[in-house]
Each structure stands twice: as structure tokens, then as C-alpha cells.
Amino acid sequence: MKKILFKDLANYYGQEIELQGFVDKVRDLQYVQFVILRDSSGKVQMTIEKNEENKELNEIVTNLTKESTILAKGIIYQQDKVKLRGMEFIPNKIEVTSRSEEELPIDILDYNNKSKQDLRLDNRFLDLRLEKNYLIFKGQTIAEMAMRDYWIENDFIEIHSPKILGTASETGAEVFDLKYFGKKVFLAQSPQFYKQMAMGAGFNNVFEIGPVFRAEKSHTAYHATEFTSVDCEMSWIKSHHEVMDLEEEKLIKVMKKISNDIGEDFKRVFKKEFVIPKENFPRIKFYDAKKIIQDNYNYVGEKDYDFNRREEELICLYSRKKLNSDFVFVIDYPFEARPFYHMIDEKTKLTKSFDLLYKGIEITTGAQREHRIDVLKKQALAKDMNLDTLDFYLNFFRYGMPPHGGYGFGLTRFLMRLFEVDSIRDVTFLYRGPNRVTP
């Protein structure tokens, strides 16, 4: 017998079928028992009358605990008086395949799941039983698939770069070190150098979806020490605008796909709707953005070469209100705020770089890369970097390197804003932070 998901039950009216699922709720009345069953695709009511004939089933149901798993055989009927999907399942056999303990460590009722986040993370396997959480990971799956589709259509090659590195990677964020047969090695903080190597290898266009590690003791709702980074890199470009064009096109495709596949579920479960972005995301120059924030919100951040959280939120607010866009590119940052490998525009002396902000938070950093080794070395020295430890990287540039650029995209940050949940921990299967390495 083929496994039947609860969402498809309407196809089986009148038929004898076998179901397996969690016990979502038990309502044991005087003359009838109702058991709500649940699987990842939906819920259904199972109804058992209390009588001599059903004695065995009645006994099982009376002793059922919520969140136990059962296997039941019976017939599914259309039944208008049942509010839950207008159907009910009448079993002739019930087997408890796993019995749950009576009390759960967290509340997972759909109308009352107020348990604190830290406790929910301790019991993540239970927390994830909530439909809203399942939906987030369904969304993640669709997002990754849509991105892959887009890249494959556009002649990108998928790479898997190493996460164990012999030298600490580039950007100044702290890296983890670990023992490696008596040597010290580092966990990759970004696939940056290796996707650029792929440019040197003549792969034209590459992408990677994989983990990255940051050894920052950041206790915030939008940081993690391990998270999934989506990276891509493309050759033969003339400016960072081509990279933005690509990201924009990809994102619209992703959002359309997500909205199409789970838009209805999202509306029902989260009481919100996805907003599909229009083409031509606003592209605001960094210094113009600073001025906009000052003129419109009378706010000046402490650093003149970068944004703080408040400024990110305000420029997004401006974009939403005045430009009708949840996405906004901030472009042409000063070199001071960027890593050494971002290309500097000779005319403006600003980097050919961009951040993509989405509903108040940065989800992407991208740029045209400096591919001329002499300039690259000069910029590395300007950032006080040691050319010897960078030699393996600089080597990529010695024998012909296409002009290229790309971006890194925080998958979890994107999902967090897409679903409008408060924390990156809610969109991470198992969150890792400064004080959390379990479960």
C-alpha cells in the first residue's frame, strides 16, 4: 500500500486506507471519540463511536497521549459537519507505534506556543513539529531549487569549496582554528578565495551553497557562528552593476516560485502575503544614502564610511515608503568599509561594490573584484595584510584572470525577512551560536 500524505486524503473518499501520523489532539466524549491526526502535510479527524463493537479501539484512544504516533486502517469519508477539511476517517484498526510522554517540555499547540526560544531550541525536534516551522524549511528548499534552476539556465557551474583552510580567510571577522594532525588550520569564513580561483580556472560562472563559520561572540537575532551562505561569481564583467542585474533577476525568480508554491499556506499559517519584487531594485550610492537618511529621518550614524543597524533600517524604510521596494541596493562604498579585493573605481576612488538590503537587514555583499595582481597587492598592503600568507591566493592572478565579480547571500537572513520572523534561529534547522552547540 502506497504511503498516503494527509494533504491528499480527498482523493480516497470511500476507500479503505492506511494512515500514519502524530496524535495532535484527543477529544474523548461520552459516546464518541475524536482524534486529530497530523503529518507534515496536514491534519485529519479520526472518529470512533463508543460501543461494544469498538471496545478495543475505544480503549486505545482513552489511553492515547498527544504526540504519540499511530498507524490506523479504515475508511476516509466526506463529512460536512466536521470543520477540519469536511472529512473524517473511521478506523477499524489502530496501532500505537510510539507512545509520547504525557507532558511536553515546550508548548507546541498552534494557538499557544509561547515557550521561550532558548527552551524551544533545546527541544528543536518538537518545535519543528509546528506547521509554521515546517513551512519555513519547505520555503528554503524551494528557494534553493529556484536559485539552482536559475544558475543552470545561465551556464553557472556548482562548486563545493573546502571548509578546512590552511590560512585564515580574508575579511577581518574572527575565524575558528582547530587542530589538524598537529597543525593549526582554520574554518572557512567564506568561499570567497575559491570561487575566485574558479574564475582563474576559466569556469566563467560558478555558484556554491554551503556552510560558513564566524568566530564572533555576537548575541543578536541575526547572527550565527555557522550559517548557510549562497555564493556566486561571474567572469567577463565590466562593472558591479552586472552582478546586481544577475542577483535581482535571480531573486525575482525565487520569490515568484516561493509565492506560487507556498503562498497560500503562508497566508493561512502566518496571516501574511509574499510581496513579489518588481524589476529595477533601487540602487542608491552610499553617500547619497547617508544624505537621504539625514534629510528624511534626521539621523547620522557614528561612522561616516559605513552603516550601523539603525541606518540600514532607515534606508529600507525610505525604500519601502518612497520607492515602493522591499529590496534596495546600496552601492559604491568607500574602501575603508570593504575588504581588500573589492575593485576601486579610478574616477570616484570608491569601491565598485554593493550591499543588498531587504526589509531592514543586509542580506548580500557583492562587488566587482580587483583582478590585476599589482593593484590587488597594493590594496592588500593598504589593509595591513601579509602578502606571504596570501600568496596562494595571489597565485590565482598570475597567469591570466578574467575581470569578474560576485556576491555572497545569507540564506538564513533572507528567509528570516521573507517569513518576517524575529530571529535567524527560527529559520536555521539547528542554530549554532557563541553559547549553543547542541542539540
Residues near RNA, by CB under 7 A: 25, 27-32, 34, 36, 45, 47, 49, 65-66, 79, 81-84, 88, 102-107, 109, 111-112, 114-119, 171-173, 214, 216-225, 227, 302-303, 306, 308-310, 339, 355, 362, 365, 410, 413, 422-423, 433, 435-436
Q: How far is the CB of 188 from RNA (least distance, A)?
A: 13
Q: Are strands 87-98 and 32-39 parallel, antiparallel or unpaired?
A: unpaired
- Looking at beta carbons only, is 11 or 220 nearer to RNA? 220
27, 45, 62, 109 from 55: Cα distances, Å: 17, 19, 11, 29
Q: Smallest gap, in angstroms, from Cβ of residue 339 to RNA? A: 7
Task: Of 360, 367, 359, 369, give the one whose Cα is nearest residue 402.
Answer: 369
- CA 406, CA 409: separation in Å to the nearest integer? 10
In whole angstroms, the minimum distance from the beta carbon of 148 to RNA comes to 22
Q: Three cell numbers at 169?
A: 580567510
Shortest distance (Å) from residue 399 CB to RNA: 29
Residue 322, classed as helix, strand or coil, is helix
Q: How far apart are CA 209 and CA 411, in angstroms?
A: 9
Task: For RNA, give the closer residue by CB, 92 or 220.
Answer: 220
Q: Which is nearer to RNA, 85 or 377 (CB)?
A: 85
Work out how close the CB of 303 gets to RNA at its nearest, in angstroms, rounded to a whole number: 7
Least distance in angstroms from the C-beta of 333 to RNA:
11
Q: Which is nearer to RNA, 279 or 298 (CB)?
A: 298
Amino acid residing at 326: D
Q: Are strands 69-78 and 283-285 parallel, antiparallel or unpaired?
A: unpaired
241 Cβ neighbours under 8 A, 6+ residues apart = 283
> Which one, 319 or 365, has the nearer CB to RNA?
365
Nearer to RNA, 363 or 401 (CB): 363
Gap between the Cα atoms of 106 and 75, Å rounded: 34
Distance CA 295, CA 298 (A): 6
